[in-house]
Structure formats: structure tokens, C-alpha cells
Amino acid sequence: MEPQSLAFRERAAAALQDPHLATALRRLESGWQRGRARAAAALPEFEALRDAAVAIKDHVLENLDLYLEIFERRFTATGGVLHWARDAAEARAIALRICREAGARTVTKSKSMVAEEIGLNAFLEANGLTVVETDLGEYIVQLAGEVPSHLVGPAVHMTRERIAELFARHHGGPLKRDSAELVAEARRVLRRRYLEADVGITGANFLVAETGSIVTVTNEGNAELTQGLPRVHLCIASLEKVVPTVEDAFTLLRLLARSATGQEFSAYTTFLTGPRRRSERDGPEAMHLILLDNGRSAMVGGPFREMLRCIRCGACMNHCPVYLAAGGHAYGWVYVGPMGSVLTPQFAGIERTWTLPTASTFCGRCQEVCPVRIPLPKLMRLWREEAHRRRLPPPVARYGLAAWAFLAERPALYRFVTRLAVAGLGLLGRRHGRFSRLPLAGGWTVSRDLPAPSGTTFRALWKARARSRS
Amino acid sequence: MSEARETVLARLRAGLARSPERRDAAATALEARLRSPRPGPLPARANVAGEARIALFARMAETVGAEVRRLAGAAAIRGELLDYLRCNNLPPRIVRAADPLLDAARLEEEPLLEVRTGVPEEPDPVGLTVALAGIAETGTLLLASAAERPTLLAFLPETSIVALPTASVVGTYEEAWARLRGVPGWPPRSVNLITGPSRTGDIPPSIELGAHGPRRLLVLLVDEAVAKAF
């Protein structure tokens, strides 16, 4: 998928005009945001778990080569087939080959952000396969021909009315109004798909080095039917998903659902270790795992290593004032919200995405709620610096910033200029007390007035205060 | 070994920039860590025993929409099952695991009940299987696949019924897994942690049950059953 991130401003502006989107995003605030706060408050060990999770992830990243070798050995010993993929194209080609070798026509798929990252659906479909998403939100987005707008709830931007119309158009039958009826209809339609599928594709929340297991987490139970019914299970996961032991997975699992939706635990957490065993009567006959790099190995040695701690809970977007106003589609690529503003430039190149790290007020809430304490504002700032170095922002912004930096590095000059500006603006604005238009401040005055300064500068006030105290 | 594998590992090693000695030392430390897995911070709430632990398990499971019934022994399963099917207006047709606990329930002797053993198929309405542990912390069941316990029993039918010896209720996930560890063939192919029935919030405004997995989950806590030797 080509990133549309350079149009962030235009896409966000359009999103702000959409009343349905505003309603949908408010639900995130009242639902998942409060849910997380409740769940965290109900578990006294929550902060200790976050510290432990950071330690686990950092330890793995410091030894990622070794852990991957161990995971590979144990996964292979269980009868699974491991495929390494350097980039998206390689991963797509391997996936297609596995589907072809299985003689597949229909493929079911439970939600996988890595599959979105490499554009797997479009590629398999272009090669003649029918791909059916089974996570309900992902299925809705697929019917609409859209992409997910949230890590955890791909269709959070949709109203029930819109979903009802989509279902009526694609499934036939009368328009349904009730969410229970719609869920029952999706269940009926997708049940047929599960049974006819030749290959089931899933992602992985964790890979366990100790046992060579794949861990999936869902609320719907769709991962279990996706991998459990077809002959072949194909899992696709990125390098950094590996954790040392099952115990380590539990530490992270205690944080995942609480941070994501405010649930104590998701409905279904499954540890899969190898394909069907000789005595068993169900389960897939073959299990493949595509281990995707796509730039991550380079991140391990660079300034963005901390981003690889991410467990894809979506808490950063649920708490981001920019995401909650603009929605996920404004970001123009697969990963959205604060985590997307750090990851997307990594995968799609800063040239085509430099707007994303600027789409933040740096309020810091994302970092506050991140279960693995990723310093998201710091990482976005690194991208801003990189964009500035490569002269990607427009000249006005770059020269403005350079001018400001020139002043800020010279305190005496700064004092002089700000005093002059305050006095001048105060004089000009003394009649109305505010400006409805001002050169160079159009971005501000287009939607609100700028109050005219009265009195003196902040620094002068501060100095006076310090004097009066002493 | 594949070229892709070598490239990825080489890139990682270049990024990590360790000396060969440090790498070897790290590898040794890591093997040791894997040999004796240590749990992270455990919730104090799970640190309860006896009846308090069973009560916590039941309360947490009910919070997420499961129903929990306490039975004196395997002999009581049959009556409870018939009652449940009738109350929920479900057809008297079940597929069950070939587990000794369920054998002891002698369901086949009930003339009004159609019972099959094995893998469920569409549209089998009710699946009955056995959990290896109940985890009080979050009201979670631990199921493990085996020849006699197909995984699909707890996923394909619209109603899932799971029997659990009361003696198999533990505090935390780690306790449940520790009992599993070290048994021949461990870990089982599929270990399913199940917390309530299937649910989705994808169609606003409500949470709906029965998205793909079971719409209903009934847990039968059986007192006088022998806890499974893991």
C-alpha cells in the first residue's frame, strides 16, 4: 500500500468535518480509554508489570540474534517449517508459494498487522486466491474496500448503519438494524468460509523461544477457527515478537488486554506448538511460519530500538488528542496514531511520511499509558530532526525554525526581541485587545483570535517574581 | 540454511556489535534463563487457597459472561446438562471428549440425549470437554489438545460446556503452566486459555457474544473428580 501520509493535513481536515467519525472516536474515549484506567487501577501490580515487561523486551532485543536461533531450533523440532523473509516482497512470495503448494483457492485470515504491512491480501488476490478476513472488524473493512483505522478495532470509524448497509449489499437480504443480528449474520456467512478454506493465515502476538510456540490473542475465537480448520496453518510474524519463556509471555499478556480494551484478559489466548500430532484428530496437518525482518534488524542497532518493544495494544492512539480528532485514516498508512508516526517513516521512508511525526502536540499521554514505556515523543522528535536535516518540511517552516533557533541561542537578543514584540503588539492591539488577523500567524487566527499582549514578557515577570520573593 | 536467514542474522549482529566473547557469555546466560523460567510480578489477588480460590474463579468467570455450576461429583453432570439444555432451549445433542471424567457421567444411558464422541462438525450445537485447570486470577480455563480432547470442541459449537475438577483450580496462569511443564509430549499442540464466551465490540454500540466461537460457556465445577495428572 502506497503511503498517503504527506496529505495528513488535508485528510485530517476532511476527517474533522465528518460527524460520524467524531461520534465513533468519542466511543474510544468513553470505552477503551476509561477501561484501561479502570483495569490498571484494579491491579496493584500494574506498574511493576510494566517495568518487568520493559526488562523482558529490552533483554530480548539485546540478544535477538540468539533468541531467534533458539526459537528456530525449537519451532522446527515441533514439526513447523520456518521461512525467513528479508522484506515485504520476499514474505509475499513465500506466502503465495505455500498457498499454491497447498492447492489453495480460498484462504481465511485472522487479523495480522504484519500482513497489512506487507500488503498480503492484495497480492494473494492478484494471484487468483480468495482471501477472507475473519476478525469481524477486519471483515467489515475488507467489505468496504478500506484499510484498518485502529490496531485493535480496525472498523472503529464505522457506524452501525454503515455496517448494516455493507452487509445488505454483500450478503443480500433485508437491512438489519440490530448489532446482535448483524453479528449473527457475519457468523453464519463466515462459518461457511472457515469450512471451505484450504489455508488459514494468522499473525502472532508472541513467539516463545523456550517452547517454539506461537501465541495468538483474540476475543472472537476467530484465530482458533482460522488455524484449526484448514489443512495448512500459515503464521506471519515479525522478528521482535519473540519472548524467552512462557512466564515472560504471561507477564506481557497481563498488560496487553488491560492496556488495549480494559479487559482483565482477552477471551482467547492460544499457545500453538507444531502441527497436528499423529494421535490427534483435529488441527492443521502443516504449520508454516514466515519470520519477517523488513527493516527491523537495522532498528536494533539504531536510535529507534525502543520502538521494537511495542506489543500493538493501541493504548497510545486511544489516548492521543490528534488521533481522537483525526481518526486513523488521516495517517495514510497501516500503522496509525503515535506508534504509527514512529513506525511508518521506518517502513515507508521519511520522505513520504515526514508529516506524521509533526502530527503530535507532544502532550506525552502516549508514553504515559504505553505498557512497555516507549518514549514515543522522543522518537517522533528524532524523526522531526531527520526530516529537518533532509529539508523535507516547506521552506517557511524551516527558515522560521532556524530564525527562532538563532534567537533562542542568544538570551540577550531573545529578551530584546520579545520585549519589542510584546510592546509593539500591545500597542497595536490596545483598541480591541485581540487580533483577528496577523501576518505569519494565519494558522492560528484562521480559527480563533490571538489575544493582544498586555504588560510585559514572561521572562520579565519571572524575574520580578524572583526579586519580590527574595 | 537460507540466504535470507544469514542476511537477517548478520544485520542483527552488526547492529548489536558484540565481541565474540560477550556473545558466547550471553548465549550461556540465556540457556540458563530458559532452563529455569522465572515468573514476573504475580497478582496478590490470586494468592488465595481453598474455597476462597474457587469463589474467586467463579466470580471472575461470571464477570465475563460464563455460567458456573458446582456439582458434587461426575454423577451429577448428566442432570445438570439436561437441565441446562432445556432452560436454554437447545437441542439434546452433544459431541463430547473421550475423557474419563465424562465417561463417568454415563451420558449415553440417558435416552433423551444424543451423544457422540470425537471431533465436532458444523452444525453440532453443543460441545462438551474437560479443562486441565481453572485459573482464579481472571476466571480462565486452561484446555489442552489431545487425541481424546479435540480443540474444536470448545470453539466450533455455539454452546461450549467445560467440566473442571474443583481440585484443578489454581491461582495464576504460571501455576497452571507449571503443572503442565515436564510431562512427556509437553507442551500439547494447542493450549487454549479461555475467559468467557466469544465476544466482539466491532459493531457498535454494544459488546455481542458469539462472534465466531461459542455464544454460551457453561463451566461445571466437579468436586469429587480426580484432578488430571498433567
Residue of B nearest to A183 (CA): B211
At B132-172, the pLDDT tens digits run 999 999 999 999 999 999 999 999 999 999 999 999 999 99
In the stretch 100-159 of chain B, residues with CB closer than 8 A to chain A read 118-119, 122, 138, 140, 145-147, 150-152, 155-156
Distance of alpha carbon A430 from alpha carbon B15, whole angstroms:
60
Q: How confident is the model at residue A139 (pLDDT cuts 50, 70, 90)?
A: very high
Helix axes A395-408, A411-428, angle to 10 degrees: 120
Q: Which helix (H) or strand (E) holds B194?
A: strand B190-194
Q: How confident is the model at residue A62 (pLDDT cuts 50, 70, 90)?
A: very high
* Whether pTM exceeds 0.90: yes
Distance of alpha carbon A25 from alpha carbon A27, whole angstroms:
5
Cell of A399: 527558515
Phi, psi of B22 (to 5 degrees): -65, -35
Residue of B nearest to A86 (CA): B4
Q: Do B173 and A279 touch (CB under 8 A)?
A: no
Distance of alpha carbon A153 from alpha carbon A312, whole angstroms:
11
Structure confidence at residue B1 (pLDDT): 54
- Closest Cα in chain B, distance from residue A441 (Å): 41
- Closest Cα in chain A, distance from residue B104 (Å): 22
State the sign of the Cα–Cα–Cα–Cα dihedral A50, A325, A134, A180.
positive
Structure confidence at residue B184 (pLDDT): 80
Residue of A nearest to B5 (CA): A84
Cα distances from B118 to residues A291, A339, B129, B214, in angstroms, run 34, 45, 10, 18
Distance of alpha carbon A422 from alpha carbon A445, whole angstroms:
17
- Closest Cα in chain B, distance from residue A469 (Å): 48
Q: Do A220 and B200 touch (CB under 8 A)?
A: yes
A308 near B CB under 8 A: no
Mutate which of B45, B203, B208 to disrupt the A interface (most A C-beta within 10 Å)?
Answer: B203
The domains found in chain B, sorted by start residue, are 47-222 (3.40.50.10420)
A166-180: average pLDDT = 95
How big, in percent rounded to 5, are the helix, strand and coil portions of chain B?
35, 25, 40
> Measured between beta carbons, which residues in chain A are less than 8 angstroms from residue B118?
281
The domains found in chain A, sorted by start residue, are 1-41+314-393 (no CATH), 43-298 (3.40.50.10420), 409-469 (no CATH)
Q: What's the mean pLDDT when you consider all of chain A?
A: 96
B38 near A CB under 8 A: yes
Is B104 a residue whose pLDDT tops 60?
A: yes
Mutate which of A75, A81, A84, A291 to disrupt the B interface (most B C-beta within 10 Å)?
Answer: A84
Structure confidence at residue A442 (pLDDT): 80
Q: Do A65 and B152 touch (CB under 8 A)?
A: no
Is B110 a residue whose pLDDT tops 70?
A: yes
Distance of alpha carbon B161 from alpha carbon B151, whole angstroms:
13
Distance of alpha carbon B159 from alpha carbon B81, whole angstroms:
12
Distance of alpha carbon A197 from alpha carbon A234, whole angstroms:
12
Q: Which residues pair with B161 in a beta bridge?
A: B128, B218
Structure confidence at residue B228 (pLDDT): 64
At A356-398, the pLDDT tens digits run 999 999 999 999 999 999 999 999 999 999 999 999 999 988 9
Query: Could you tell me which residue, A445 or A48, shows the higher pLDDT?
Result: A48
Share of chain B above pLDDT 70, in %: 97
> What's the distance, Cα to Cα, between the start and end of chain A in Å?
62
Phi, psi of A57 (to 5 degrees): -65, -45
A234-257: average pLDDT = 98
A248 near B CB under 8 A: yes
Is B224 a residue whose pLDDT tops 90?
A: no
In the stretch 179-208 of chain A, residues with CB closer than 8 A to chain B read 179-180, 182-184, 186-187, 190-191, 194-195
At A69-105, the pLDDT tens digits run 999 999 999 999 999 999 999 999 999 999 999 999 9
A223-248: average pLDDT = 98
At A8-42, the pLDDT tens digits run 999 999 999 999 999 999 999 889 999 999 999 99
B201 near A CB under 8 A: yes
A264 near B CB under 8 A: yes
At A112-126, the pLDDT tens digits run 999 999 999 999 999
Structure confidence at residue A387 (pLDDT): 97
> Measured between beta carbons, which residues in chain A are less than 8 angstroms from residue B197?
267
